[in-house]
Amino acid sequence: ETGVTQTPRHLVMGMTNKKSLKCEQHLGHNAMYWYKQSAKKPLELMFVYSLEERVENNSVPSRFSPECPNSSHLFLHLHTLQPEDSALYLCASSQDDKHGRAGELFFGEGSRLTVL
Amino acid sequence: GQNIDQPTEMTATEGAIVQINCTYQTSGFNGLFWYQQHAGEAPTFLSYNVLDGLEEKGRFSSFLSRSKGYSYLLLKELQMKDSASYLCAVRDGGFQKLVFGTGTRLLVSP
C-alpha cells in the first residue's frame, strides 16, 4: 500500500469511447503526476500538477486530458484513443519544495489500458 | 536533450552480488533515484543520490559520479524476491522533475 490509489485497474475501450482514469493520494503531497509505461520504453511523463500549476509534456496528444480538482485527486480523461495508446498508466505523487523541485515519487498500482 | 541508459536485462544467481549501471546525459542534474518494480506492481523507491559517493541501505547500495554522469545500484546477497525491474531516474536540473531510463530487468535464479 503506497498511499496512492488508482481506478480502474484494468480498462478495455474502443476507439470511439470516452473514459476516465482516477487517482487519489492519501499522503498530503502537493504534486501529482501521470506517467505512461509501455513495453521496452522508459516511463514517459505526461502531465504534472505541482504547487497548483499544471506542467505538461508537449508531445502528449490532445486525446488525453488531465484534470486536478484538488491536491488529492487527479483524473485522466480519454477520448478517441488509438490502439498504440494501450499501456500501463501510472499515477504518482510527491512533496515538492517551494521551487517546484520534485521529491521522492510514490506510485499507484497503475491502470492497464487496452484500446481495441 | 535527455538520455538515460541502462542494460535491458541481467541474470544472477541467489546469494551473489550484482551491479546495475546507469549513465545519463541531461540538460541539468539535481539528483538521481533508483526504483524497484515487480511485475504488475507499482515502482517503489530504493535510493537517492545527489552528491558523489556511495549510499548504503541494507543489502542495497547506490553510487553516483556526477562528473562521469554515472550511477550504479549494487545488490548483495541476492534473493529470489529481488527478481524485478530496476529503474534509474534523474531529476532534471531545469524541469526539476524525474526522467526515467528504460529499466533493467533482473532475473535471479536458484
Nearest one of B12, B5, B15 to B68, comparing CA atoms: B5
pLDDT at position A34: 94
Lowest mean pLDDT: which of A51-55, B8-12, B61-65? A51-55
Of B45, B43, B46, B48, nearest to B59 by C-alpha is B46
Among the listed residues A54, A9, A57, the one whose alpha carbon sits nearest the alpha carbon of residue A35: A57
What percent of chain A stands above pLDDT 90? 68
Q: Residue A28 has what pLDDT?
A: 94
Buried b (16+ CB within 10 A) or exposed e, A36-63: bbeeeebbbbbbbbbeeeebebeebeee
Which 3 state secondary structure label does DSSP give B80?
Answer: helix
Q: Do A101 and B96 touch (CB under 8 A)?
A: yes
Q: What is the pLDDT of residues B26-77, one digit of tens each?
A: 878 889 999 999 988 889 999 999 999 999 989 999 999 999 999 999 999 9
| Cβ proximity of A47 and A61 under 8 Å | no
The predicted structure's pLDDT at residue B35: 96
Does A55 have pLDDT greater than 80?
no
Which residue has better confidence, B11 or B98? B11
Burial group, residue A88, by CB count within 10 angstroms (0-12, 13-18, 19+) = middle
From B96's Cα to the closest Cα of chain A, the distance in A is: 5
Inter-chain CB proximity A45 and B96 less than 8 Å:
no
* Cβ within 8 Å, pair B97-A43: no
Residue A103 pLDDT > 90? no
Confidence of residue A54 (pLDDT cuts 50, 70, 90): confident
Is the Cβ–Cβ distance between A64 and A87 less than 8 Å? Answer: no
Residues in chain B within 8 Å Cβ distance of A102? 91, 96-98
The answer, for B30 touching chain A at a CB cutoff of 8 Å, is yes
Instruction: Report the percent of chain A where pLDDT is more than 70.
Output: 96
Q: What would the mean pLDDT of A23-50 be, rounded to a whole number? A: 91
- For the ranges A27-36, A67-76, B86-95, the lowest mean pLDDT is seen at B86-95
pLDDT at B92: 80
pLDDT digits (tens, 9 = 90+) for B71-108: 999 999 999 999 999 999 998 866 678 889 999 999 99
Separation in Å, CA B58 to CA B54, B62, B76: 13, 11, 9
Band of pLDDT at residue A15, cut at 50, 70 and 90: confident
Per-residue confidence (pLDDT) for residue B15, from 0 to 100: 97
pLDDT at B95: 65
* A41:B43 CB<8 A: no
Q: What is the pLDDT of residue B38?
A: 94
Helix (H, G, I), strand (E, B) or coil at A78: strand
